[in-house]
Amino acid sequence: MKLRDCEGCLVYGTDNKPLSRARVESDKDETIRLYFSNYKLRSVRFQTFVDFYDMQQGLIRCYCELVIRKNVYENRVNEPWMADCEVLEISDVFQRQKDLRVRVHISTEFSLVGGAFFTGTIRNISAGGLFVVTSQAIKVGERFFFTHRFDGKEPTRVEAKILRVKRAATGGFGYGCQFINLPTETEATIRKYVFAKQMEKQKNPGRKI
């Protein structure tokens, strides 16, 4: 399997529960190597699922054989364990048309293309769109902008279009929206944000994100 732009993954244990996150390196020969900052691992060979977070292809879930051993390279102080990874089978791919969606709670201000402002809460988000709850009545097809620091540093301005509307259980309206005119860099930033939230959720399943 060829990874195009993948820096991280989530490795599962033989009990199908998240075991550890890892940094990913791959070369032109499609050799995949993982590096762990988790000190609690041990030398072992086993087969398990790995979620690769590829910025171009999406989330790629694979069944792999891992050979975990002590990191023998210069970065071993920060990453004491490494693993040779052989992909045995691609189990599922969450590509652009099947984007991974994660629950969030982002309260922010939105600006309609016509100039009006409204406040609302983003309840879930993917690299393709989002679901917003607000008391503002908006027509299907209308477009709006909002800004958020997806990387925790620089504010990112995003444009979206309302595709569908339904009454929210808590009152007001819920809008299913699609991102439009999304630059490649912004899409990659949002995709990375979604992956990070998903990894956080898997690591802390009982915690609200």
Is residue 121 located within the same domain as residue 82? Answer: no
pLDDT at 94: 66
Is residue 70 located within the same domain as residue 123? Answer: no
DSSP 23-68: EEEE-TT--EEEEE--TT---EEEEEEEEEEETTTEEEEEEEEEEE
Is residue 110 located within the same domain as residue 198? Answer: yes
Whole-prediction pTM? 0.55
Q: In residues, how long is the chain?
A: 209
pLDDT at 41: 95
Count of domains for the chain: 2
Is residue 86 located within the same domain as residue 117? Answer: no
- pLDDT confidence of 32, banded at 50, 70, 90? very high
Q: Is 209 part of any domain? A: no
Asked if the model's pLDDT at residue 23 lies above 70, the reply is yes
Asked if the model's pLDDT at residue 207 lies above 60, the reply is no
DSSP 63-74: EEEEEEEE--SG
pLDDT at 203: 62
Say which CATH number the domain at 120 has: 2.40.10.220
| Dist. CA 51–CA 122, nearest whole Å | 25
Q: Is 197 part of any domain? A: yes
> In this structure, are strands 117-125 and 58-70 parallel, antiparallel, or unpaired?
unpaired
CA angle 114, 147, 104 (to 5 degrees): 115
Say which CATH number the domain at 23 has: 2.40.10
Is residue 107 located within the same domain as residue 192? Answer: yes
pLDDT at 199: 72
Task: Tell me the sheet residues that pair with 130.
Answer: 125, 177
Per-residue model confidence as pLDDT tens digits over 139-188: 999 999 999 999 888 899 999 999 999 887 777 899 999 999 888 788 87
Asked if the model's pLDDT at residue 27 lies above 60, the reply is yes
- pLDDT confidence of 192, banded at 50, 70, 90? confident
pLDDT at 97: 44
- Picking from 45, 72, 95, the residue at the C-terminal end of a domain is 95
Half-sphere exposure of 68 (CA within 13 A, CB side): 23
Do the beta carbons of residue 155 and residue 108 sit within 8 Å? no
Is residue 111 located within the same domain as residue 91? Answer: no
Per-residue model confidence as pLDDT tens digits over 36-53: 999 999 999 999 999 998
- Picking from 41, 74, 95, the residue at the C-terminal end of a domain is 95
Quick one: which H or E segment has residue 193? Answer: helix 184-203
pLDDT at 71: 94
Q: Is 118 part of any domain? A: yes
pLDDT at 208: 55
| Dist. CA 81–CA 22, nearest whole Å | 9
Is residue 86 located within the same domain as residue 146? Answer: no
Is residue 57 located within the same domain as residue 85? Answer: yes
Domain hosting residue 111, numbered range: 102-203
Q: Residue 125 corresponds to which tokens in the numbers above?
A: 């988000």
Q: Is 196 part of any domain? A: yes
Asked if the model's pLDDT at residue 87 lies above 80, the reply is yes
| CA distances from residue 168 to 54, 81, 125, 131, 134 in whole angstroms, order as listed | 34, 47, 17, 11, 8
Q: Which residues contact 29 (CB under 8 A, 6 or more apart)?
A: none
| Dist. CA 185–CA 61, nearest whole Å | 23
Stronger pLDDT, 52 or 75, i.e. the higher one: 52
Is residue 90 located within the same domain as residue 140? Answer: no
Q: Which of 123, 36, 30 minimizes the C-alpha distance to 79?
A: 36
| Dist. CA 72–CA 47, nearest whole Å | 22
Q: Is 185 part of any domain? A: yes
Question: What number is the average pLDDT over the span 53-62?
Answer: 81
Is residue 116 located within the same domain as residue 164? Answer: yes
Q: Is 188 part of any domain? A: yes
Is residue 77 located within the same domain as residue 126? Answer: no
